[in-house]
Amino acid sequence: MKIAVAGAGYVGLVTAACFAEIGNNVICVDIDESKINHLNNGVIPIYEPGLDKLVAKNRKENRLEFSTDLKSSIKQSEVIFICVGTPPKDNGEADLSYVENVARMIAEAMDSYKVIVEKSTVPVETGEKVVKSIRAYNIHKVDFDVVSNPEFLREGSAVNDFMHPDRIVIGAESEKARETMKALYQPLNAKILFTDIKSAEIIKHASNSFLATKISFINAIANICELAGADVEKVAEGMGLDKRIGKSFLNAGIGYGGFCFPKDAEAFIKIAEKLGYDFRLLKATQEINNFQRKNFVEKIENALWIVKNKTIGILGLAFKPNTDDMRFAPSIDIINELQREGAKIKAYDPEAAGKAKSILNNIEYCTNPYDAAKEADALLILTEWDEFKTVDLNRIKSVMKHPLLIDGRNIFDPEDVKRLGFSYISMGRKDN
Ligand code: UGA
């Protein structure tokens, strides 16, 4: 099938490359000329495992191209994916101006039947507005369908998530659109759930909000475990063995970050509010998440007594492993607070240092974990990169001024690190 993908951001790039990989002819379009030039020279603007190879292969095989010409891409395509950004406005609502703009451009350019798919995360009822907008600007008076097909890709495993999804959600109102979408996804051999457009839109926000709530729930349990002298890792294991609960997203720590959960939870609260519902549960999820960062800084303060002039080494800056994404990373709030108190920060992250440099100031960026630990009064773990789990702890200890390890992601066994001579503090475990 011929496909156009509007937006060469995170979702757009992965969607375009993966649809090409499963045999379609894809044009990925963006208004950012320099980004398109880079992509046409083989430079991928984000770090996502496997994406560079996929882009290179499909460009070589002429199934994937990058362009700034939305109009001609629309004319050539049967299906058009809207993958533009929906960043948060100051009041927490999603800014839909990019979606509206693309919808209008599609309407003006299309000269034959098109399936227009909203893939960007949007509030419920956006589909209706997209339909209205396309009708208003449909100068060639052609037939079209709007479909909601939310993405559930995780950064760091997006290609694999696309190729092996738990489910594909398709909100569509016509048989023709349903059949087109079914044919498009057929090579993945995955479970497809057909719904109306509004339900599909809500599935996206509900899924992200539920996962965020699951994380806040286990973080609340972690705090209770600390007070009671129990071990949250064991509690999560015991809970997770119940198939109805499941073990994923029960890792206690410094809370969720990234560009999805914080923004989507905030937007969903606003959506509910507009519809007349006070989503108190989700507000509590946010509150607990914010508290986890403060709670972590308090642990550091308690351990160091005076933070001022202390050297604090940091392992991990990205909001989670296998990404260079720093957006809404817990590390930002934690580092800002420690710097405000006068700490000297040294940090190492395998991928995110480049992006961190434009957000965090006055940091000594290190090229390995041992340099970050050198002469440090405390070493913090803020992202659970695999590399940190296998670090030589004896070497770390030998270079630190004082062997204090404060682990915001519970990557070590408390007994093991204590046996090596570390003072060890983690989240929701007996060690504290
Ligand atoms: C999330 C969803 O998982 C995807 O399904 C969705 O498509 C995506 O948002 C989106 O809306 O675009 P992502 O933000 O890439 O994906 O990251 P996750 O792997 O879900 O992690 C989110 C945050 O939760 C991270 O900061 C992570 O450290 C934290 N987390 C996750 C925990 O603190 N504990 C856990 O048990 C799991």
372: burial class by Cβ within 10 Å (0-12, 13-18, 19+)? buried
Spans of the chain, pLDDT less than 50: none
CA of residue 164 to ligand 1 center, whole Å: 17
**Are 2 and 81 contacting, i.e. CB atoms less than 8 angstroms apart?**
no
Residue-level pLDDT at 432:
56
Residue with CA closest to ligand 1 atom 23: 256
18: burial class by Cβ within 10 Å (0-12, 13-18, 19+)? buried
Residue-level pLDDT at 362:
96
Lookup: tokens for 133: 């907008």
Please give the full DSSP string across 151-188, using - where no structure is assigned. --PPTTSHHHHHHS-S-EEEE-SSHHHHHHHHHHHGGG
- Do domains 2-195 and 260-425 share one topology? The answer is yes
**Are 73 and 4 contacting, i.e. CB atoms less than 8 angstroms apart?**
yes
pLDDT digits (tens, 9 = 90+) for 207-240: 999 999 999 999 999 999 999 999 999 999 999 9
CATH class of domain segment(s) 2-195: alpha beta
CA of residue 286 to ligand 1 center, whole Å: 14
Residue-level pLDDT at 431:
62
CA of residue 388 to ligand 1 center, whole Å: 20
Residue with CA closest to ligand 1 atom 35: 249
Among 18, 19, 52, 15, residue whose Cα is nearest residue 30: 15
For tokens 């992202």, the residue is 383
**Are 179 and 213 contacting, i.e. CB atoms less than 8 angstroms apart?**
no
Q: Does the C-beta of 162 come closer than 6 Å to ligand 1?
A: no
Residue-level pLDDT at 243:
97
For tokens 């629309």, the residue is 74
Lookup: tokens for 405: 């390890």
Residue of 251, 320, 332, 427 with the most ligand 1 atoms within 8 Å of its CB, for mutation: 320
Q: Does the C-beta of 293 come closer than 6 Å to ligand 1?
A: no
CA of residue 154 to ligand 1 center, whole Å: 6
CA of residue 261 to ligand 1 center, whole Å: 7
DSSP structural state of residue 81: E
344-348, strands of its sheet edge to edge: 363-365, 344-348, 311-315, 378-381, 404-407, 423-425
Among 267, 251, 347, residue whose Cα is nearest residue 91: 267
22: burial class by Cβ within 10 Å (0-12, 13-18, 19+)? middle
CA of residue 319 to ligand 1 center, whole Å: 9
Q: Does the C-beta of 215 come closer than 6 Å to ligand 1?
A: yes
Residue-level pLDDT at 102:
96
The residues spanned by each domain of the chain are: 2-195, 260-425
For tokens 């398709």, the residue is 170
For 120-138, give one letter per residue: b (16+ CB within 10 A) or e.
bbbbbebbebbbebbeeee
Distance of CA 362 to the CA centre of its chain: 26
In ligand 1, the atom with minimum distance to the C-alpha of 121 is 11
Q: Does the C-beta of 296 come closer than 6 Å to ligand 1?
A: no
Q: Does the C-beta of 430 come closer than 6 Å to ligand 1?
A: no
Among 162, 10, 88, 15, residue whose Cα is nearest residue 328: 88
Distance CA 162, CA 52 (A): 15
**Are 78 and 3 contacting, i.e. CB atoms less than 8 angstroms apart?**
yes
The pTM assigned to this predicted structure is: 0.95
Please give the full DSSP string across 45-67, using - where no structure is assigned. SS--TTHHHHHHHHHHTTSEEEE
Alpha carbon dihedral 64, 70, 75, 78, in 10-degree steps, equals 50
In ligand 1, the atom with minimum distance to the C-alpha of 264 is 11
Distance of CA 321 to the CA centre of its chain: 11
The arrangement of secondary structure in 260-425, i.e. its CATH architecture, is: 3-Layer(aba) Sandwich (3.40)
Residue with CA closest to ligand 1 atom 12: 260
Among 39, 32, 41, 38, residue whose Cα is nearest residue 13: 39
**Are 158 and 10 contacting, i.e. CB atoms less than 8 angstroms apart?**
yes
Active site residues: 260
φ, ψ of residue 30 to 5 degrees: the values are -145, 150
**Are 345 and 365 contacting, i.e. CB atoms less than 8 angstroms apart?**
no
Q: Does the C-beta of 96 come closer than 6 Å to ligand 1?
A: no
Residue with CA closest to ligand 1 atom 31: 249
For tokens 């960062």, the residue is 293
